[in-house]
Chains A and B, each alone.
Chain A
């Protein structure tokens, strides 16, 4: 029986692709937006269900490229097909270069109650290196507008570990961030894939190499500074004011089921993880035949893998894994089943344990992979 609590809607359009991005998004295809909206609505109706939905997330791409009436038509179509809880968290990602007070007021009226603004940096040189379409000033305006439009649940994203970015550069952005006082912050180290322009610029020595040691210092600095300003570090890369944790993302980390709608959107329903085609034209085309989009991923998660994933995802959360919850869910004593790994990791100083369970140590949050792989099942 499926028990979907979360819906993700992917908006695969960008005015310009950022130079570090590996998400599925198309530039110069904005003329396809109306057809895409129709296709998404169609997918809503094909996948409609009765379970109570607690969280909705519009991610991208750049969801704020959609006009406010388009957002509104999507939220109402969703309500037609799903049972949205009264206090449903509905997040929308927004690019500071695409929004103003008027727009934000309209999407608020359309039902969006949480805004996630991709600030990335408060330093214009860094923004231009990343290929962002906005400036630091645009970012400050966007935050001000969001507050004026009465968004009381506001996230900003920042990136550290940039080529040539000093610890002080990072501190400047962080200080500006806490000054504008968002409710939630996601801080990511720059991670590049070979096909991305920024990767190539580093390869060809146009930009200096990324220093993992500097990124580690920057991360530790953020931990101290945000704690001082009342943020709770609740996931490896996420901080929130009390009660402002992102409910949608918590569904992922707690192993909950979710439904993904739109191009390249992933779903996890009854031990199956699947993903819609990443091809925009194909997605729209299949909708015109009133059929579900082709699946690019369709994986059955075995019980062994589910256990491993739930540990890996659970350890991302700063509260870690509760022994009793784990026992209740899998009927397994985690301390017994993984005694050898846990002891080894405690000796390395990567995890901590007490009577409630296990969690990453501050050092383990920087060396999470060394923890995670140890919980994977041996290949058959």
Chain B
């Protein structure tokens, strides 16, 4: 029976621990493709993903492997996103598999996000194969990492494989281990169809393509299906698997991983995590609880040139066809005009969406200070969600503000506990727990590694928290976070005035006792990033009508091409054309030309 010869698995790894290299090596060793056809790290297909070294969209590849027992197995490798912003996508990917390869870098050891992913895999009863990668590197510390794995995750040394995805060392043994340890899919082809959507993307020819793991039953082209969580009905336009290109097939059976093209117009109608069944005589229960990943970080997006707003609307609509996890609502700023308040899964997700909008749609964007979703209770008892600081009620009408908190987990050599503790305290966080990792008999110069737990307002993580954590730990600390709920807080709105004009895009909510300090550094930072203008420009920070900080940009005195003779005219005109083009990257606010980067730069302030 085919199902018994199938293994569905994914790779869990921290960024740069070698997931993509290992995937390439598995592809090469199983002969799914000729090795000369392998494009380096081919599972990362989006240009942006490769540049950032992360994987945003999960994909799946079917491999054919002849094991030592002489049987040819079908292996389905599902790729997972490597960043905490996409934790929900990771969780659905894990739910689509029976096993996971846990890759840990021999030079870096266990990282914070690795642990949460492993716990998640354990929750789903996945068989985990722990692997130490990069053992070929001179700086590898295999023994130490083995100790960490045993102390934190409970795997004995002999259970852990030692490999080098780069050289291929140990990978054949890993393949055997996949066959022997990971169980075949358990579903039943004769029961009503149940398939889990673990990823989807929009294709202009085929409509939404859903990546699915078929648990029970089977699917054929032309089948009429139902998404149990969303209630969407669809017909299968085409069906197949990946090798790693789309490879059409007649059917997908229980235990198979593949795709169906749905003809749907937006991934919003076909969301990750939903269970597919037959429209008639379908299954009664979904595979796992379906929910939508909820945006937690919000920001305003505008075009630098107001007349480009129509293009932005079109771009956002198109992009949302392909990314169901970001939200957008039209908003109007007195200064920036028409734009959108967008919600994201995290800062990285926000960066990615912004870059895709700018790159794929050739837009020049202003992204305002990101913030969280606040729950605001007014004195009249009414409650509302506030994602734009401008919507915060007047203090006299305000009874209570609640904001989201996160639990963070940091893994770091113990030397850096002090500076990290200090950072968390400055960020209004609370210490919860310390746990030492590995054995104390082999501490190195930086001290034994330790896992620290804190709780902090999510708001505090939206500025320089991560950069600071990295710099205070000389790059050693890793971070994981999850939202744990809302807590009451005291916050006020801090405004920035440029040349006397209040610029709502700079407004943010801050704790009252920090308003002064933050206001001061914001105007100082803006003074650096806004170029000199034709007149003196005052920059002010205010709370209500009270000015709490000020910095002035002095007027520009000289900007002229001094020489212009026969040989210069074309060249000088081109310089002026460049100057003119540069103005398009500026937003005119109160007659002041503000570079688009200024809006984000106020967040990247040193403390």
- The chain B residue sitting closest to A259, CB to CB, is B566
Please name all residues of chain A whose beta carbon is closer than 8 Å to the beta carbon of B573 when the two chains form the complex: 305, 308-309, 312, 376
**Contact of A233 with B by CB under 8 A:** no
Contact A313 B577 (CB under 8 A): no
Chain B nearest CB from A148 CB (Å) reads: 29
- The chain A residue sitting closest to B582, CB to CB, is A373
Contact A373 B580 (CB under 8 A): yes
**Contact of B190 with A by CB under 8 A:** no
Contact B560 A369 (CB under 8 A): yes
Contact residue range for chain B?
20 to 34
Contact A373 B579 (CB under 8 A): yes
**Contact of B38 with A by CB under 8 A:** no
Chain A window 248-291, contacts with chain B (Cβ cutoff 8 Å), 1 for yes, 0 for no: 01001100001010001110100001010000000000000000
Please name all residues of chain A whose beta carbon is closer than 8 Å to the beta carbon of B562 when the two chains form the complex: 188-189, 191, 236-237
Q: A266-B569, A275-B567 are in contact. List 12 more A-B contacts (CB 8 A).
A: A189-B562, A212-B558, A216-B558, A236-B560, A266-B567, A273-B569, A273-B570, A305-B573, A366-B559, A372-B561, A373-B576, A379-B581
Please name all residues of chain B whose beta carbon is closer than 8 Å to the beta carbon of A213 when the two chains form the complex: 557-558
Contact A252 B564 (CB under 8 A): yes
Counting residue pairs across A and B whose Cβ atoms lie within 8 Å, the total is 92
Chain B window 544-579, contacts with chain A (Cβ cutoff 8 Å), 1 for yes, 0 for no: 000000000000111111111111011001001101
Q: Which 8 A-B pairs have the closest CB atoms?
A: A368-B560, A216-B557, A216-B558, A373-B580, A266-B567, A373-B576, A212-B558, A373-B579
- The chain B residue sitting closest to A301, CB to CB, is B570
Please name all residues of chain A whose beta carbon is closer than 8 Å to the beta carbon of B564 when the two chains form the complex: 252-253, 313, 316
Please name all residues of chain B whose beta carbon is closer than 8 Å to the beta carbon of A379 when the two chains form the complex: 577, 581
Q: Which of A206-221 contact B (CB under 8 A)?
A: 212-213, 215-216, 219
**A369–B579 CA distance with the chains assembled, in angstroms:** 8
18 contacts between A and B (CB under 8 A): A8-B566, A188-B562, A189-B558, A189-B562, A219-B558, A236-B562, A249-B565, A252-B569, A266-B567, A266-B570, A268-B566, A268-B569, A273-B570, A309-B573, A312-B576, A367-B534, A370-B559, A373-B577
Contact A252 B556 (CB under 8 A): no
Please name all residues of chain B whose beta carbon is closer than 8 Å to the beta carbon of A260 when the two chains form the complex: 566-567
Please name all residues of chain B whose beta carbon is closer than 8 Å to the beta carbon of A265 when the two chains form the complex: 567
Contact A368 B561 (CB under 8 A): yes
Contact B534 A350 (CB under 8 A): yes
Contact B557 A264 (CB under 8 A): no
**Contact of A348 with B by CB under 8 A:** yes
Q: Which of A135-171 contact B (CB under 8 A)?
A: none
**Contact of A184 with B by CB under 8 A:** no
Please name all residues of chain A whose beta carbon is closer than 8 Å to the beta carbon of B576 when the two chains form the complex: 312, 369, 372-373, 376
**A215–B560 CA distance with the chains assembled, in angstroms:** 11
Please name all residues of chain A whose beta carbon is closer than 8 Å to the beta carbon of B580 when the two chains form the complex: 373-374, 376
Please name all residues of chain B whose beta carbon is closer than 8 Å to the beta carbon of A3 when the two chains form the complex: none
**Contact of A299 with B by CB under 8 A:** yes
Contact B558 A313 (CB under 8 A): no
- The chain A residue sitting closest to B581, CB to CB, is A379
**Contact of A129 with B by CB under 8 A:** no
Contact A366 B558 (CB under 8 A): yes
**Contact of A17 with B by CB under 8 A:** no
Contact A237 B563 (CB under 8 A): yes
Q: Which residues of chain A have a CB within 8 Å of any CB of chain B?
A: 6, 8, 188-189, 191, 212-213, 215-216, 219, 236-237, 249, 252-253, 258, 260, 264-266, 268, 273, 275, 297, 299, 305, 308-309, 312-313, 316, 348, 350, 365-370, 372-374, 376, 379
**A219–B558 CA distance with the chains assembled, in angstroms:** 10
**A260–B558 CA distance with the chains assembled, in angstroms:** 32
Chain A nearest CB from B251 CB (Å) reads: 54
- The chain A residue sitting closest to B535, CB to CB, is A348
**A368–B579 CA distance with the chains assembled, in angstroms:** 12
Chain B nearest CB from A308 CB (Å) reads: 7
Please name all residues of chain B whose beta carbon is closer than 8 Å to the beta carbon of A191 when the two chains form the complex: 562-563
Q: Which of B385-425 contact A (CB under 8 A)?
A: none
Contact A368 B559 (CB under 8 A): yes
Chain B nearest CB from A210 CB (Å) reads: 10
**A249–B557 CA distance with the chains assembled, in angstroms:** 27
Please name all residues of chain B whose beta carbon is closer than 8 Å to the beta carbon of A313 when the two chains form the complex: 564, 569
Q: A216-B558, A367-B556 are in contact. Are A264 and B567 (CB under 8 A)?
A: yes
Chain B window 569-602, contacts with chain A (Cβ cutoff 8 Å), 1 for yes, 0 for no: 1100100110111010000000000000000000
Please name all residues of chain A whose beta carbon is closer than 8 Å to the beta carbon of B559 when the two chains form the complex: 212, 366-370
**A215–B565 CA distance with the chains assembled, in angstroms:** 21
**A212–B560 CA distance with the chains assembled, in angstroms:** 11
Chain A nearest CB from B556 CB (Å) reads: 7
Chain A nearest CB from B326 CB (Å) reads: 32
Contact A252 B566 (CB under 8 A): yes
Please name all residues of chain A whose beta carbon is closer than 8 Å to the beta carbon of B566 when the two chains form the complex: 6, 8, 252, 258, 260, 266, 268
Please name all residues of chain A whose beta carbon is closer than 8 Å to the beta carbon of B579 when the two chains form the complex: 369, 373
Please name all residues of chain A whose beta carbon is closer than 8 Å to the beta carbon of B561 when the two chains form the complex: 368-369, 372
**A95–B539 CA distance with the chains assembled, in angstroms:** 50
Chain A nearest CB from B362 CB (Å) reads: 14
Please name all residues of chain B whose beta carbon is closer than 8 Å to the beta carbon of A376 when the two chains form the complex: 573, 576-577, 580
Contact B570 A297 (CB under 8 A): yes
Chain B nearest CB from A253 CB (Å) reads: 8
Greatest chain A CB density within 10 A among B534, B564, B581 is at B564
Chain A nearest CB from B306 CB (Å) reads: 16
Contact B558 A215 (CB under 8 A): yes
CB < 8 Å neighbour of A366 from B560, B567, B570: B560
Chain B nearest CB from A102 CB (Å) reads: 30
Please name all residues of chain B whose beta carbon is closer than 8 Å to the beta carbon of A212 when the two chains form the complex: 557-559
Please name all residues of chain B whose beta carbon is closer than 8 Å to the beta carbon of A367 when the two chains form the complex: 534, 556-560
Please name all residues of chain B whose beta carbon is closer than 8 Å to the beta carbon of A372 when the two chains form the complex: 561, 576
**A55–B427 CA distance with the chains assembled, in angstroms:** 72
- The chain B residue sitting closest to A365, CB to CB, is B560
**A189–B583 CA distance with the chains assembled, in angstroms:** 25
Please name all residues of chain A whose beta carbon is closer than 8 Å to the beta carbon of B560 when the two chains form the complex: 236, 365-369
